């Protein structure tokens, strides 16, 4: 989501639409992180002004329609008091006392460095009219040191003691509305007053706050959390590769290793995607590198996880060539276009499906795609032909199931396989549809990640 533009709907000097209750807080950036938090605050009685430069997002939210899929979010929006949650493309002339920044901080695709232009644009707008009591809470993921350098630095030109807090968003897409009231909120701040006020705001829905000693420590918490998850997934993917070369089944080995064993859970092998796990380890590496250290373990884990999509694509191409001859005469169906299947989401940022499609495209005749949640328009933006199941599988030579969405565990996948050509290649990455594939009336070449 984008930062607000400078001009927009008329507001009063108290930061509200004419006749409305003054806003207690503005949330800038109404994406997966900003909107869910805004709704939670409004549900507890806080008067929230949501700001996003995207006119379509603002229009949808004005109609109480969410611009993305999140379990339960439409019902929560519909139940909000109109005076408790309003939306705008702009920040008002007179700012609310607290502003939460939740805009995107993507990586520069070429340089692989953080692009903080959206955060900077919002901070410039705030700095132009903030006062001594304006609290700025950064919710966007940042490299270590950015809150102090950007937010404190920009506000210091106008305010003697800027009130800045960094409070990372750590929910899982698809489960955010459930997780927000359960997760402790990490709070790092520039001053004691900033920390106190941030904790007071989050106390409306969070069970407790975890006070950090500095902005930098709080920034590092977010990066460490996600880099650690990436490491765990990388170990699962390494086990998968080892099992393959030894002629074993990683799913069986990992299930045996985890069974009633009181040690850290071993992840199953699978593609790793999404905006957090593909970006935050690189932000952590970037932060460490600026201080003179390049962490090899984190870099290796990222490379292991990135390599999974290459293995999937190469295995499909080889199987097609072995069974059906020239892959360039073959049609492939990808199932699971969101970056994950559980919890359900329509988020396609850094989805493994895009990378698998990119690697397959030069070698196959066509690429169709299906997802239980992602809309056809978003699927086609990725360069696939959107389809429904089972009809979309008709005549396909291969199907690649990329997520563990429960829709692929039932009859739908079995029916789809039955519509494919004789002896189709079925690469069920997570093994979610094993029973359905086995039940299909087809002689199937059944492949799975982590199994010889």
Q: What is the pLDDT of residue 12?
A: 36
* pLDDT reading at 3 higher than 80: no
Q: How far apart are CA 418 and CA 164, in angstroms?
A: 58
Could you report the per-residue pLDDT of 375-406, keeping only the tens digit for each?
Answer: 999 999 999 999 999 999 999 999 999 999 99
Percent of the chain with pLDDT over 70: 96
- Give Cα separations from 350 to 50, 342, 382, 386 (angstroms): 26, 16, 11, 18
Q: What is the pLDDT of residue 17?
A: 56
* pLDDT reading at 172 higher than 70: yes
Could you report the per-residue pLDDT of 403-452, keeping only the tens digit for each?
Answer: 999 999 988 899 999 999 999 999 999 999 988 888 777 799 999 999 97
Q: What is the pLDDT of residue 8?
A: 38
* pLDDT reading at 2 higher than 60: no
Q: Is residue 11 very low, low, confident or very high in pLDDT (cuts 50, 70, 90)?
A: very low
DSSP strand pairing (135-138 vs 98-101): parallel
Q: Please, what are the domains in the chain?
A: 25-213 (3.40.50.720), 222-302 (1.10.1040.10), 307-447 (3.40.50.720)
Check: CB of residue 414 under 8 Å from CB of residue 424: no
- Give Cα separations from 157 to 119, 129, 132, 166, 192 (angstroms): 17, 11, 12, 20, 20
What does residue 329 show for φ and ψ, rounded to 5 degrees? Answer: -105, 15
Straight-line distance from the first to the last Cα atom of the chain, in angstroms, rounded to the nearest whole number: 43
What does residue 116 show for φ and ψ, rounded to 5 degrees? Answer: -105, 20
Look at residues 272, 223, 230, 234 and name the one whose alpha carbon lies nearest to residue 105. Answer: 223
Q: Is residue 291 very low, low, confident or very high in pLDDT (cuts 50, 70, 90)?
A: very high
Q: What is the pLDDT of residue 19?
A: 57
Q: How far apart are CA 341 and CA 350, in angstroms?
A: 14
Mean per-residue pLDDT over the chain, rounded: 94
Give the containing element (helix H, strand E) for 302.
Answer: helix 296-324
Q: What is the pLDDT of residue 422?
A: 95
């Amino acid at each position: 989501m984008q930062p607000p533009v400078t001009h927009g709907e008329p507001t009063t000097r108290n930061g509200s639409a004419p006749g409305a209750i003054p806003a207690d807080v503005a949330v800038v950036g109404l994406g997966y992180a900003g909107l869910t938090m805004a709704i939670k605050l409004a549900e507890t009685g806080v008067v929230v002004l949501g700001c996003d430069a995207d006119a379509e997002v603002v229009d949808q939210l004005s109609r109480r329609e969410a611009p993305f899929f999140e379990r339960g979010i439409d019902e929560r929006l519909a139940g909000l008091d109109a005076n408790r949650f309003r939306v705008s493309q702009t920040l008002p002339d007179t700012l609310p006392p607290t502003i939460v920044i939740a805009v995107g901080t993507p990586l520069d695709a070429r340089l692989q460095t953080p692009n903080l232009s959206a955060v900077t644009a919002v901070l410039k707008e705030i700095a132009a009219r903030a006062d001594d009591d304006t609290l700025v809470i950064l919710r966007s993921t940042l490299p270590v040191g950015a809150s102090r350098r950007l937010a404190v630095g920009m506000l210091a030109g106008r305010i003697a003691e800027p009130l800045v807090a960094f409070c990372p968003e750590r929910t899982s897409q698809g489960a955010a509305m459930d997780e927000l009231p359960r997760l402790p909120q990490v709070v790092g701040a520039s001053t004691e007053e900033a920390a106190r006020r941030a904790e007071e705001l989050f106390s409306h829905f969070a069970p407790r706050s975890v006070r950090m000693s500095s902005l930098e420590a709080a920034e590092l918490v977010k990066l460490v959390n996600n880099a650690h998850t990436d490491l765990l997934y990388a170990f699962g993917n390494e086990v998968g590769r080892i099992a393959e070369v030894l002629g074993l089944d990683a799913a069986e080995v990992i299930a045996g290793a985890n069974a009633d064993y009181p040690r850290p859970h071993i992840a199953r092998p699978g593609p790793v995607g999404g905006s957090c796990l593909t970006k935050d380890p690189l932000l952590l590496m970037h932060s460490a590198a600026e201080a003179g250290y390049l962490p090899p373990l984190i870099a290796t884990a990222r490379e292991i996880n990135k390599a999974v999509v290459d293995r999937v694509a190469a295995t499909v191409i080889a199987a097609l060539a072995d069974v059906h001859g020239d892959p360039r005469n073959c049609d492939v169906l990808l199932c699971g276009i969101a970056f994950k299947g559980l919890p359900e989401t329509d988020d396609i940022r850094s989805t493994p499906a895009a990378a698998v499609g990119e690697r397959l495209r030069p070698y196959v005749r066509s690429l169709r795609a299906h997802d239980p949640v992602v809309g056809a328009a978003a699927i086609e933006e990725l360069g696939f032909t959107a389809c429904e199941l089972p009809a979309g599988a008709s005549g396909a030579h291969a199907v690649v199931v990329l997520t563990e969405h429960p829709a692929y565990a039932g009859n739908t996948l079995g029916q789809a396989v039955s519509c494919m050509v004789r002896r189709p290649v079925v690469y069920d990455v997570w093994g979610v549809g094993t029973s359905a594939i086995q039940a299909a009336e087809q002689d199937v070449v059944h492949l799975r990640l982590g199994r010889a």
